[in-house]
């Protein structure tokens, strides 16, 4: 008996930016963290600016208007 495997594009459902790291939760249950040093545009903005993110492409990426930064899930997965 085989098991059906459904593959989906990983989509972001939650984002948190601390003073030191970017934390992302994907719809499939994975949680990714990366140091802010990887994303220099997110290092210096205020905490309020870091909170002003929005999902792009239905969750394939994250955008911060205040700092003109876009981060894709694909790039986060390649880095891990």
| CATH code, 29 | 3.30.2020.40
What would the pLDDT profile of 7-29 be if each residue is shown by its tens digit?
678 999 999 999 999 999 999 99
Domain count, the chain: 1
User: Is 3 among the domain residues?
Assistant: no
Residue 7 within a domain? no
* Cα dihedral across residues 43, 45, 48, 49: positive or negative: negative
Domain-embedded: residue 22: yes
Does residue 35 form part of some domain? Answer: yes
The model carries a pTM of: 0.85
With a pLDDT cut of 90, the percent of the chain lying above it is 85
Q: Give residue 42's domain range.
A: 12-79
Residue 32: beta bridge partners? 24
CA distance linking residue 11 with residue 24, whole number of Å = 10
| 53 token code pair | 């993110």
Residue 1 resides in a domain: no
């Amino acid at each position: 008996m085989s098991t059906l495997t459904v593959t989906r594009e990983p989509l972001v459902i939650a984002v948190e930016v601390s003073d030191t790291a970017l934390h992302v939760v994907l719809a499939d249950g994975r949680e990714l963290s990366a140091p802010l040093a990887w994303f220099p545009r997110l290092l210096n903005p205020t905490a309020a600016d870091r909170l002003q993110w929005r999902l792009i492409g239905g969750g394939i990426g994250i955008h911060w208007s205040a700092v003109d930064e876009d981060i894709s899930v694909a790039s986060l997965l390649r880095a891990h």
